[in-house]
Amino acid sequence: MASSVNLSEFSNRPVALVTGASRGIGRGIAERLAQDGYAVAINYVRSQSVAEELAAILQQTSGDGWALQADVGSVSQANTLVDRILARWGRLDVLVNNAGITSVGRADLLDASEAGWDTVFATNLKGPFFLTQRVCREMIRLRADGVLNGGTIVNISSISSFAVSVNRGDYCLTKSALSTMTKLFAVRMAEHDVYVYEVSPGVIRSDMTAPVQAKYDALIEDGLSPIRRWGEPSDVAQAVSSLVARAFPFCTGQCLNIDGGFHIRRL
């Protein structure tokens, strides 16, 4: 059967790649960017059926979606992901480095394993670094070809980039490094009109936090953040949407804290 994809329609539609978009925060971002008019590449690693279900929803509603399997921790798979997007849509305007995993087994610092470290670092840091490197090269080329005016890259870090948890040391280190990575690429890419941002979520309702829901319910009630509620994926998506829309045009390398005020030191 002929594809229902109308390539001429896509040629003018901006394209966003959201890694880890099958569930949680990434899914919220994908839904929001589709509403904003983007064709969205919905990356996932295992959850094929939910990713394809989201793609179908986006196809039927405001935007367009395409579910793409790739382990972002593998540089070759990440490169193939970009190849496939460019082959289909011919452009890539936005990259949201959202895919991430928590510390494997949440082991105490003194028990943390090398294997766990390697897994978390591959997914949360090495993957975003090399995916960003590849996408930046493509954005420079696409801009030189007159396809793009510029681009936007958003890294989803965490309050764990500055608030330490001794049972998730490797996770904290990856998120801390992601903050620095944001500044590095922001400086390198500004001359190409590619702006790079960090969005740092607080406690957000998702599968990642589901196992520790009771703990966070109690902490939030006790005033963990000045705004005493769980964050929702839509809170993070709203921030990404505003950055991608160039709501702050004289701004790159900036971090938006979407954490109910958690980051404010208090006496």
List residues binding ligand NAP (CB under 6 A).
19-26, 43-47, 71-73, 98-101, 123, 156, 158, 201, 203-204, 206-209
CA distance linking residue 191 with residue 197, whole number of Å: 15
Q: Are strands 39-44 and 64-69 parallel, antiparallel or unpaired?
A: parallel
Token pair, residue 31, equals 């839904």
Q: Which is nearer to ligand NAP, 20 or 169 (CB)?
A: 20
User: CA distances (Å), 249 to each of 84, 194, 253, in order?
Assistant: 30, 11, 12
Strands (E), 113-178: 151-156
Q: Which amino acid is at 240?
A: V
> Residue 160 Cβ, how far from ligand NAP at the closest point, in Å?
7
> Residue 256 Cβ, how far from ligand NAP at the closest point, in Å?
12
Q: Which is nearer to ligand NAP, 42 or 142 (CB)?
A: 42
**Cβ pair 21, 44 in contact under 8 A:** yes
Q: Which is nearer to ligand NAP, 116 or 201 (CB)?
A: 201
> Residue 247 Cβ, how far from ligand NAP at the closest point, in Å?
21
> Residue 101 Cβ, how far from ligand NAP at the closest point, in Å?
5
> Residue 249 Cβ, how far from ligand NAP at the closest point, in Å?
26
Catalytic, 171? Answer yes
CA distance linking residue 18 with residue 29, whole number of Å: 7
**Cβ pair 97, 132 in contact under 8 A:** yes
Q: Which is nearer to ligand NAP, 22 or 225 (CB)?
A: 22
DSSP 189-200: HGGGTEEEEEEE
Spell out the residues 6+ positions from residue 100 whose beta carbon is closer than 8 angstroms to its own: 20, 123, 124, 156, 158, 174, 208
Q: Which is nearer to ligand NAP, 22 or 252 (CB)?
A: 22
**Cβ pair 97, 155 in contact under 8 A:** yes
User: What's the count of helices (H) and strands (E) in the chain, helices before strands?
Assistant: 9, 7
Catalytic residue numbers read 171
